[in-house]
Chains A and B, each alone.
Chain A
Amino acid sequence: MHTPLHDVELWNKFRKGDKEAYALLYKIYFRRLYNYGRKFTSDTECVKDCIQDLFTKLWRNKSTVGETSSVKNYLFCSFRRILIDKINHQKKDALSEEIDDSYTFEISLPYESLLINHQAEAERKEELARAIQALSSRQKEAIFLKFYESNSYEEVASIMTISTKSLYKLVAKAINTLRESVKKTYFLLSLLLLI
């Protein structure tokens, strides 16, 4: 298991041109970046291209990239920028319209978590899944980075390049929406149980 300290050590070795450290960074982050990227697009080639871009750019700029306290943040943030640029560029080619920085982000509950014998519990899960779908892309991304990737609020804010305060609001709003929608089903269920 790697630790952030280990990351920084690898990072500094890589900056001096250490290929082994560079390869280890790839090994540690490829799957996480791929998983994250796939939430923006289902185009796997595009995700692969962007990871390639990210790592080749790192190699080219190894002598100029600075120190960082969080390699993970650096990689996620750069990768996110490359990916959104590429997706919007492709969109622009297709529609020949101005570039915007909007994006889509899709997360869903794992399929197996919806396979529940208990009827009421299954309904509640389905309601939660629907509510997640209904969140905005930014909310979904914030939730993903916060609860799935277990980042701190500061880290998520820096990856998404917004202030920590607005990030916190974004997450709180999303959680509130999810809980409200689930509570509705809870209420109906408890009524049923009472009868």
Chain B
Amino acid sequence: MKYTYYTAEDFILDESFQRWVKHPTPEASLFWENWLTANPHKRDTIEEARQALLELHFTEHTPTEEVYDEVWERINQANTLYDQQQKSKIILYYSLNNWYKVAAVFAGMLLTALVLYYIFNLQKHIEYTTKYGETQNITLPDGSTIILNANSKVSYAPNWTNTSIREVWVEGEAFFSVIHTKTHQKFVVHTTDNFQVEVLGTQFNVYQRKNNTRVVLKEGQVKLNIQQENLEEQVVMKPGELVEVREQIKGYTKKVVNPELFSAWTKNEFIFSETPVSEIITLLEENYGLSVVLKDRSVLKRTITGSVPSENLESLLFALSEALNYRIVQENNQIIFRNKSIK
């Protein structure tokens, strides 16, 4: 009999013994009692093992009724939701035959790809901005260049393929030198949602601030797409022409100008040719972020002719004060015009 030489430890580890101690059955009791009668010298060992086994009882962590109910509630909620989803899936599954399923899957994938592509491109637009009083030269992926005037922003998608339209978005003022590509790719400048300049290769200045959009063509040819209320117009421009569109005002104005005047800022100067002071004040506000205080409004109608450097605000203000015979004082962001004679 294998138990004859068992130590207390052996008994503890024996499954038949464990069952008798913890979950006794009549058969087990009978067996062990008979065995003890036959092996009385083992009584102490057996008793020791039995005690040790009974001691191996550990602290119980009993959940409360609330916890029991709460978890069951959570499981049921999750399962109900899952069952509903399954039902709708099954309905969809049976209502489509195989061909439609394949088509639907492809359409879904295509749509996802398009949306992702769109989002990706939107996010990845390259963007340049200038602060007040600074300009920036930008070279586009096709080699065309942009000179960005002060307080302006330009953006475009990073990858220009050889076939698609070249598109650029502008806020503020920018001078474009567009290269004509071998594949005759269109180059489109967007200012607002309803104004685009379309070109093949040319030089022109685009200005869009405060509901006012202006294009001056230096060389080549451009086509403007103007969308206004119930009106969509295409305007073809010739070199030396200026086209201006104002919000709220229907149509556009076109006139012949000296384009150099409008792109002089790209060479760090302003050229004025009988330019009203009111326009110069707008320029100071837009390019330098200054606000102008006038003591005498009659100056607005006066005009100025001549060129002044644009890099240096002080010398520009000095030139203005000389030309107008005004005292011009700068205080932080304010420019105060004072008539010398009045004071």
Chain A residues close to B by CB (< 8 Å): 23, 26, 30-31, 34-35, 38-39, 44, 48, 51-52, 55-56, 59-60, 107-111, 113, 125, 128, 143-144, 147-148, 150, 152-153, 168, 171-172, 175-176, 178-179
Q: Which of A26, A34, A55, A153 contacts B61 (CB 8 A)?
A: A34
CB contact under 8 A between A55 and B56, given known A150-B23, A153-B15, A172-B13: no
Tell me if B59 and A111 are in contact (CB < 8 A). Answer: yes
Residues of B in contact (CB 8 Å), total 29
CB contacts under 8 Å to A, within B127-166, are: none
- Is the C-beta of B221 less than 8 angstroms from some C-beta in chain A? no
Q: Tell me, rounded to whole Å, the shortest Cβ–Cβ distance linking B185 to chain A.
A: 49
Which are the 4 A-B pairs with shortest beta-carbon distances?
Answer: A38-B61, A147-B56, A107-B58, A56-B78
Residue of B nearest to A34 (CB): B63
Once bound together, how far apart are the Cα atoms of A101 and B60, in whole Å?
25
Chain B residues close to A by CB (< 8 Å): 8-9, 12-13, 15, 18, 22-23, 52-53, 55-63, 67-68, 70-72, 74-75, 78-79, 82
List A contacts of B23 (CB < 8 A). Answer: 150
Inter-chain CB contacts under 8 Å: number? 84
List A contacts of B61 (CB < 8 A). Answer: 34-35, 38-39
Tell me if B75 and A148 are in contact (CB < 8 A). Answer: no
Other contacts beyond A39-B61, A52-B75, A143-B56: 8, CB < 8 A: A30-B68, A30-B71, A34-B67, A44-B67, A56-B75, A109-B55, A128-B55, A153-B15
Residue of A nearest to B74 (CB): A52
Once bound together, how far apart are the Cα atoms of A147 and B12, in whole Å?
10
Residue of A nearest to B68 (CB): A30
List A contacts of B9 (CB < 8 A). Answer: 172, 175-176, 179
Tell me if B82 and A60 are in contact (CB < 8 A). Answer: yes
Tell me if B71 and A51 are in contact (CB < 8 A). Answer: yes
Q: Which of B58, B60, B70 contacts A48 (CB 8 A)?
A: B70
Tell me if B79 and A59 are in contact (CB < 8 A). Answer: yes
Once bound together, how far apart are the Cα atoms of A42 and B62, in whole Å?
12
Tell me if A26 and B56 are in contact (CB < 8 A). Answer: no
Q: Tell me, rounded to whole Å, the shortest Cβ–Cβ distance linking A125 to chain B.
A: 8
List B contacts of A23 (CB < 8 A). Answer: 72
List A contacts of B71 (CB < 8 A). Answer: 30, 48, 51-52
Residue of B nearest to A132 (CB): B58
Tell me if B75 and A26 are in contact (CB < 8 A). Answer: yes
Tell me if A113 and B55 are in contact (CB < 8 A). Answer: yes
List A contacts of B18 (CB < 8 A). Answer: 147, 150
Tell me if A52 and B58 are in contact (CB < 8 A). Answer: no
Of the listed residues A56, A109, A152, A176, the one surrounded by the most CB atoms of chain B closer than 10 A to its CB is A56
Once bound together, how far apart are the Cα atoms of A176 and B7, in whole Å?
11
List A contacts of B78 (CB < 8 A). Answer: 52, 56
24 contacts between A and B (CB under 8 A): A26-B75, A30-B72, A34-B62, A34-B63, A39-B61, A48-B74, A52-B71, A52-B75, A56-B75, A56-B82, A59-B75, A59-B79, A59-B82, A60-B82, A108-B58, A110-B60, A111-B59, A125-B55, A128-B55, A148-B58, A150-B22, A175-B12, A178-B52, A179-B8
Residue of A nearest to B60 (CB): A35
Q: Which of A35, A111, A148, A152 contacts B15 (CB 8 A)?
A: A152
List A contacts of B12 (CB < 8 A). Answer: 175, 179
Residue of B nearest to A107 (CB): B58
Tell me if A110 and B58 are in contact (CB < 8 A). Answer: yes
Q: Tell me, rounded to whole Å, the shortest Cβ–Cβ distance linking A194 to chain B.
A: 18
CB contact under 8 A between A175 and B13, given known A31-B62, A144-B58: yes
List A contacts of B63 (CB < 8 A). Answer: 30-31, 34, 44
List A contacts of B67 (CB < 8 A). Answer: 34, 44, 48
Once bound together, how far apart are the Cα atoms of A112 and B12, in whole Å?
23
Once bound together, how far apart are the Cα atoms of A87 and B53, in whole Å?
31
Q: Tell me, rounded to whole Å, the shortest Cβ–Cβ distance linking B252 to chain A.
A: 61
List B contacts of A26 (CB < 8 A). Answer: 72, 75
Tell me if B75 and A55 are in contact (CB < 8 A). Answer: yes
